[in-house]
Each structure stands twice: as structure tokens, then as C-alpha cells.
Chain A
Amino acid sequence: MKYLDEYRNGDIAAKIVAEMRRVQTRPWVLMEVCGGQTHSIVKNGLDHLLPEGVELVHGPGCPVCVTPLEMIDKAHAIARSPDVIFCSFGDMLRVPGSDGDLFSIKSMGGDVRIVYSPLDCLKIARANPENQVVFFAIGFETTAPANAMLAWRAREEKVTNLSLLVSHVLVPPALEAILSAPNNRVQGFLGPGHVCAVMGYNEYEPISSRYHVPIVITGFEPIDILEGTLMTIKQLEQGRATVENQYSRILDRRGNLPAQQLIAKVFEVGDRKWRGIGSIPMSGYHLRDEFLRYDAEKIFDVAEIATQEPKICISGEILRGLRKPHDCPAFGTLCNPQHPLGATMVSAEGACAAYYAYGRHLNPPGGDNLHQIAAGPSEREAAVQSPEERVYSHANR
């Protein structure tokens, strides 16, 4: 596949790593912001290709991971309501709330549907005029243009049985929160490539200069991530701190203006709570007043539910790059993708989930729980849904 395959070339990867070794003179701690980048790093085994002394810590760029428990519970409450068709991206289906997940709600008769594009919800709303269609509009800025278009079109077409439950988060405030923390270790960032394809990267310039950190806007394929890492290391070695664009075949400094315009018409910036981190001011999107009638939080009576994360979970520190999954005593044993305790194990993109799936064969620091992990998950685990809607069973498997 063009523009994909060539960015998985092992020979070029080796060249980039060789160049890293050539320029690197001391240890550096970098953070890749996006969950998709984390996924790519661990899936391709990239972090173990890097020279000693280049450490990648994983950032909070996973909207599934950072969606607060209260919002998940609201989603579940709405999905349980009679006559509601609850539509969501696949990622959110297995996220546990205080009581079950969307799959278990489906098993008890809830009409829960996976959509690939938010526009599918319009089709569903038109086809089911007797039902209330609610769309779980999560994501970072990358998904905002699509979610905005849904709200915009619903209003244009005067659709009356559709609403959105919005839980959008923004990257720059999260970076600031990480950088302003007293025990921050991160010295450079691989910036969010697809977020910046939409928003451009001018918002990162003041952050880069205020904290004197290089931010290299990076893509998602292995070659992109390696090149972005190389560019960041070079800046650090040269004592520079600017915003650079590794992903230049996709984006430029201004981003996508039509997308930004529609986002501004539909959403406004407001405070948002981040699971595992806490409330960050002006860090998310809310629907504007003109779209009140499409705001599921206002339409449905969903009261705030007080929630408590399990005490043992160190997601917050992992999301801020302070600790690694292997540092957690519950990692791989009590806490695993089928029975997640916290944000970073909940989502396929979370650092803990990625490490569990891809990286747990490698010796963790001081890791004598390696054998425990290798022995496999405990009895009480849940399987995951396979792609087929209806599956045929082999009774003896």
C-alpha cells in the first residue's frame, strides 16, 4: 500500500538508528504523545531498536484512556434507556464503567451499535424515526471535524431524534500539564501527527519556547517515529528547542482551515476532567449553545456519579510519563486487558495494554514477575469480540 509500506522498511530503519547512535552523546527522555504512536512503537518493537540512553515514555494521547469514569457511566446510563440506539466507535465498547460495559448492556437488550463514521448516525436516525439516536463523540482534535460535521448536518437537515454525548479533549493543555509538573522527566516530544493535520502546529510553538523543549510533529509508521526521534535527539544534542515537522507529507503549520472553521462553529473550548490526571482547565470541547438540542448530556437525565479508581492503579503516573507499566505490581497479573484496573490498560492504545500485548516478553527492570506474566492471564478472563457480527461456535474449543 502506497505511503504505508515504504514506511515499514527495515533497511531505512537501520540507517536512522545508526544515525541516532552517531549523534547521541548522552541519555535523553522523550515522550510520544499519541496512543497510536505508542501502539506503533510497541507493536513494531521500536523502543528496543533505539540506542541505549534514548528512552521513550508514553504520553496521555489516548482518548479512550482519558475519558473520565463519570462520562463512561453517563454513556452507559443513556445506552440503557429504552428506545435509545447508542452508537459508538469500536474502541469504547469494552471500557468498563462502574457497572458493566456497553457489551453487557447490549446483552441485556440495549441497542448498541458500532459505527465507523459519525455520519452513519444520520442514516440510523433517518431509518429509525421512533428512536433516539445518541452518538458517543469522543476523541482528540483529529476526530473533532468528523464529530462537528455530524452535529452540523443534523441541524441542517433538521434531524430531531439525534444527539451527541461529547467528551473531546485537547493535546496542548495536556502537554503543559505534563511539563509544569514538578517531577517531569520529559525533555522532548514526538508531537501528535494527526491532531496537527487538523489543527496545525502553531499552538506548540509557545509551549516549546516557554519550557525550552523540542517538539517534533511526528507520524505513526515506524519510519516516521524513528525519524521524529532522530530529529528530536539532534535538537537536544544541539541545545535547540523548536517545533519541527517530520510529517511534512501530510501537514503544514496552519493545518486544515475548513476543518478548524467548522470545529469553531460547533464546539467551544472548556474545562475537562482527564481520567488518571484530573481536571485540566480549557482542555476540551463542548457543544456550543446553538447546538443545545443536540447535546445528549442536556437531553438525558444523567446525574453525576461519584467514582473512585482502584487505589493500586498508577495510570496517572504512567500517563504523565513518570512510571512504566512494569513498575506497577498489578501489571499483567491482577490488571490486564481483560480485567483492567485503570485508564492505561482499558484501551488498546494505552501504554499498559500495549506493553501487555506486545512487550511483556522483555525483561522489565528488576522484573522477576516475568514468569508470572509469561504464564499467562488468570482464569477469570474475558475474551474479546471477534470481527464477525455473528460467530459460529466450535463446541470443543
Chain B
Amino acid sequence: MPTVEDDWTKDEKIGAESLTPFGSCPIPIFDHKRILLGHGSGGKLTADLIDKIFLPSFRNSALEKRDDQAVVTIGKARLAFTTDSFVVTPIFFPGGDIGRLAIHGTVNDLAMSGARPLYLSAAFILEEGLAIEDLRRVVESMRAAAAEASVQLVTGDTKVVNRGKGDQIFITTTGIGVIDDNINISADRARPGDKIILSGYIGDHGMTIMSQREGLEFESAIESDCAALHGLVAVMIATRSSANDFIHTLRDPTRGGVATTLNEIAKHANVGMVVDERKIPVRESVKGACEVLGLDPLYVANEGKLLALIAPEMAGDVLAQMRGHRLGRDAAIIGEVVESHPGMVLMKTEIGGTRVLDVMFGEQLPRIC
């Protein structure tokens, strides 16, 4: 009969020692000396990099708000100003491409402050050897996307790097928009009682990219949901023509998914949140793909969805407005902001239990366990 040898007594001693106050043991800290892929994931590592490297050098009040866009005032005009880089691979995928993503991603960052997006710039870093036809396709896609969003690409730049030093195309954009006087949308306006509205199905974009990934391929009808959201935001604002301060917060749940984004808002505004798993729309195919790979749709990126925190008395009307718009047909109230457990997001599960919805739980890597 197998028994555990030797280590029993050692473990018992360990048990005893754990009662001593920690801080007395020299525990090696896991510090990073080099950039990892995880630093670009938009989660805690990225935040760490911002805190340690970027903020200390570039300190100012706009930057410290850490929104997706900066709101700056020039004369009487309030401008939203944002920048983004796009390095997605593959550059063409079902439902979109890197160009379309670049335009819509930037438009959305502006739209989340309630701004009317107006002008974009685009800088291209091209890898030696890229097919010009591919570049043409990407640029044509950007043209169409800009027209859809009624924005103009007014300036740009092109650089070429040696083969092997750049993954086909990298695109960096900046965007400028104008915020009307009576609009005040930001994370710190979140209030207990606010209803949380999600504009539609989640996980489409991230799982589309995953489906193209070597070794993890699967056949599916999943397409990226890449879309410009400023039109949807406009109809939401138009729910009531006067006193339109009922939209407190808007965020698009890109990398890190709905869960990460809700947590960011909760921590920033120091409020709690409760959401209901059964109310969250997920397509069968996205669910299937997530089940197989062991991923959670709540942490998968979206490129054409928004989360809105709305004053409770207006939530029903705003929802109706959203459902009347192409990009909000499947919108749903998924939860609300609460006073208790500030900074923490809880979820009522399908089976009737409750769990914490953390920022990017564990490994959002395909798992076998």
C-alpha cells in the first residue's frame, strides 16, 4: 500500500511555520527584466508598465485619468484625443482586417467619451516583402471604414523595415473628436443604482482571431464584430434631447473582455457591480469554441460592442433606442452598479450561485485542465 514518505513531518513543520507573520521570510519577487507578450495584453502587466515606466515620465492630469482617450480643452472647444497601434495577425480575418480595425478602434475610443469623431491620422510600418496588393486591400478597407464612420483620414506616414523586423503591417492611428457642451461621460460618473447595458453578443472578435491561430484552428461561422460605435452612441444620447447626463459611463470591452472592462470602471469609480450570467448574450458558436479551448467569453476581446452605465430611470428608454439601431439589436441590461463591495464585480451564475468576476482570471490560454 503506497504511503507518503519522509515529507510528512516536513510538511507538518511547514504548517507550523505558516502561523508566523509573513515578511519575516525572504521570498524572491518575480520581477520582469524584459518585455513579455503579456505586457501588451491590456491587463495587469500593461497597467504595471504604465505605472512604472510611462506615467512617471509623462505626468499630467489628462494622462492620469487613464481613459481610452484624453479630453483636452483648447479655447472653448472640448476635444477628445486618442492614439492606438494595431499589430494583429493575421492581417485579414473573417469579418475584417487590420485596416478596418484601425479605423473603427480609434473612432470607438473617441466615441466612448461622447465625442463626435472627426479626423484621423494613420502611420504605417511596412515589412520589406509585403505584397503591394495586400497593402492596397488594407488601405481600401480603411477608406470604406472611414466613410462608414464619417471621419476623414487627413494625414499619414509610411516607413519600411527590414524583412523579419515587422510582422507585415503595423498601423498607428491618432484621432480627434469634439465633445458637445452638455456631454459628460467618464468612468468616475458611475453611481450605485446605475444599470449596466451591454450592446450585444460577446467574444466574436477574439474567437475569430483564435480560430485562425496555428494549431488551434477550427471551422466556424464566427466573424469579427469590428464596427464603429459612434452612431449607436449618438442614438443613445438622443434618447432625451435635454438634460442628457443620464449616460454616466461608456467603455468598449476590447482586450480583456467585458470582465476586465467592468473591473476597470469599478476600481476607478470605487463602486461595486453585480451582473447576471444569464443575461449576457453569447453566440452558440463562440460558446462552443470557448468550451473546447477552456476559455471564458467574458475575457475575450470585442471590437464592436460597448458597455454603458445608465441612470436607472432612463435605462429602459436607452435600451429601446439601442435595439432600434443596427449595432444594438441584441442589447441587454446585464446588471447594475451597487454600493457594497466597492471595486469588486460579482456575478450571479446560471446555476444560482455567486462568484467574483476578476480582471483576466488566471491564464486565458487554451487549457487541458
Contacts and interface: CB of A to CB of B under 8 A. Distances in A.
Interface in A132-148: 139, 143
A164 interface: no
Contacts of B2: 173, 176-177, 280-283
Contacts, number: 322
Interface residues of A, number: 104
A347 B369 contact: yes
Given A115-B215, A385-B38, A392-B86, A44 B350 contact: yes
Contacts of A279: 4-7
Interface string A272-290: 0000011111110000000
B132 interface: no
Contacts of B30: 96, 339, 380, 382
A14 B352 contact: yes
A157 interface: no
Given A94-B363, A104-B36, A45 B351 contact: yes
Central interface residue in A113, A120, A360, A390, by most chain B CB within 10 Å? A390
Given A116-B215, A397-B66, A377 B44 contact: yes
A139 B368 contact: yes
A91 B29 CA distance: 21
A39 to B, nearest CB: 8
Interface in B36-90: 36-48, 50-51, 54, 63, 66-70, 82-89
A381 B48 contact: yes
Nearest to A221: B351
B167 A376 contact: no
A96 B40 CA distance: 20
Contacts of B219: none
Interface string B166-207: 010000000000000000000000000000000000000011
B2 to A, nearest CB: 5
Contacts of A328: 18
A390 B213 CA distance: 10
Contacts of A296: none
Interface in A83-102: 89-91, 93-94, 96
A64 B294 CA distance: 15
A302 B219 CA distance: 40
Contacts of A374: 341-344
Contact of B8 (A143, A278, A381): A278
Contact of B363 (A42, A222, A384): A384
Interface in A282-304: 282-283
Interface string B351-369: 1111110101111111111
B323 interface: no
Nearest to B207: A387
B291 interface: yes
Interface stretch (B20-28, B136-144, B308-316): B20-28
A295 B322 CA distance: 59
A379 B351 contact: no
A107 B83 contact: no
A249 interface: no
Interface string A38-61: 010011111011000000000000
Contact of A45 (B3, B66, B68, B355): B355
B254 interface: yes
Interface residues of B, number: 104
A169 interface: no
Contact of A385 (B11, B105, B355, B363): B363
A108 interface: yes
Interface string B320-356: 0000000000000000000001111010011111111
Given A35-B369, A63-B369, A382-B32, A359 B38 contact: no
Nearest to B54: A395
Contact of A357 (B45, B48, B353, B358): B358
B300 interface: yes
Interface stretch (A23-31, A239-247, A329-337): A329-337
B9 to A, nearest CB: 10
A351 interface: no
Interface stretch (A74-82, A250-258, A305-313): A305-313
B44 A104 contact: no
A106 interface: yes
Contacts of A36: 369
Contacts of A387: 206-207, 209-210, 293, 295, 300-301, 364-366
A353 B362 CA distance: 7
Given A103-B38, A383-B360, A310 B352 contact: no
Contacts of B99: none
Interface string B131-153: 00000000000000000000000
Given A1-B288, A180-B3, A391 B353 contact: no
15 contacts: A1-B284, A44-B351, A44-B355, A314-B14, A316-B11, A316-B14, A317-B11, A329-B22, A358-B355, A358-B356, A374-B342, A380-B30, A394-B68, A396-B67, A397-B66
Interface of B: 1-8, 10-11, 14-15, 17-19, 21-22, 25, 27, 29-32, 34-48, 50-51, 54, 63, 66-70, 82-89, 101, 105, 109, 167, 206-207, 209-210, 213, 215-216, 254-256, 267, 284, 287-288, 291, 293-295, 299-301, 341-344, 346, 349-356, 358, 360-369
Question: 9 closest A-B pairs (Cβ-Cβ)?
Answer: A45-B353, A278-B7, A383-B45, A90-B365, A383-B43, A348-B362, A383-B44, A358-B355, A386-B41
